[in-house]
Amino acid sequence: MTGVAGGPSGVGAPRVALIGANGHGRWHRRVIAGLHAAGRVRLVALVDLHPVEDEPEAPVPADALVGTDHRAMLARARPDVVVLCTPPHTHLPIALDVLAAGADLLMEKPPVLSMAEHDTLAGALAATGRACQVGFQALGSAALAELAQAVAAGRLGTVTGIATVASWQRSDGYYARSPWAGRRSLDGRPVLDGALANPLAHAVMQSLAVAEVAAGAPVAPARIELERYRVRPIEVDDTAALRVVPTAGPPIVVAVTLAGEDFVPGEVIVTGTAGRAVLEYPTDRLLLPGDAEPRTVAGRRGLLENLLDHRADPRVPLIAPLARTAPFTAVLEVVAGAPEPTRIDPELLVGTGEGADRVLTIRGVNAALRACAEGGRLLSELVVPWAVAPHVVDLDARREAARHG
In a shared domain, residues 132 and 270: no
Shared domain check, 187 and 85: no
Task: Indicate the residue among 102, 121, 137 that finishes a domain.
Answer: 137
3-state secondary structure (DSSP) of residue 187: coil
Query: What average pLDDT does range 372-386 have in this prediction?
Result: 96
Model pLDDT for residues 239-289, shown as the tens digit of each residue? 999 999 999 999 999 999 999 999 999 999 999 999 999 999 999 999 999
User: Is 383 found in the same domain as 241?
Assistant: yes
Number of domains in the chain: 2
Tell me: do 229 and 330 sit in the same domain.
yes
Burial class for 265, CB neighbours closer than 10 Å (0-12, 13-18, 19+): middle
CA distances for 394 relative to 90, 163, 220, 245, angstroms: 29, 20, 12, 10
Considering only CA atoms, which of 352, 312, 367, 227 is closest in space to residue 14? Answer: 312
Residues 97 and 219 reside in one and the same domain: no
**Could you tell me if 60 and 176 lie in one domain?**
no
Distance CA 401, CA 405 (A): 6
Q: Are residues 130 and 145 in the same domain?
A: no
Same-domain pairing of 126 and 184: no
Tell me which of 361 and 395 has the higher pLDDT: 361
Verify that 59 and 152 share a domain, yes or no. Answer: no
Q: Residue 95: inside a domain, yes or no?
A: yes
Q: Amino acid identity of 94? A: I
Establish if 202 belongs to a structural domain.
yes
Residue 226 lies in a domain: yes
Asked whether residue 314 is assigned to any structural domain, the reply reads no
Query: Looking at 137, 157, 176, which one is the last position of a domain?
Result: 137
Range of the domain at 179: 138-299+321-403
Determine, yes or no, domain membership for 9: no
The last residue of one of the domains, among 83, 116, 137, is 137
Say if residue 205 is exposed, middle or buried (CB neighbours under 10 Å; 0-12, 13-18, 19+): buried
Q: Are residues 213 and 245 in the same domain?
A: yes
245 and 336 belong to one structural domain: yes
CATH code for the domain in which residue 370 is found: 3.30.360.10
Residue 52 lies in a domain: yes
156 and 272 belong to one structural domain? yes
> For 114-146, how does the pLDDT look when each residue is reduced to its tens digit (9 = 90+)?
999 999 999 999 999 999 999 999 999 999 999
pTM of the model: 0.91
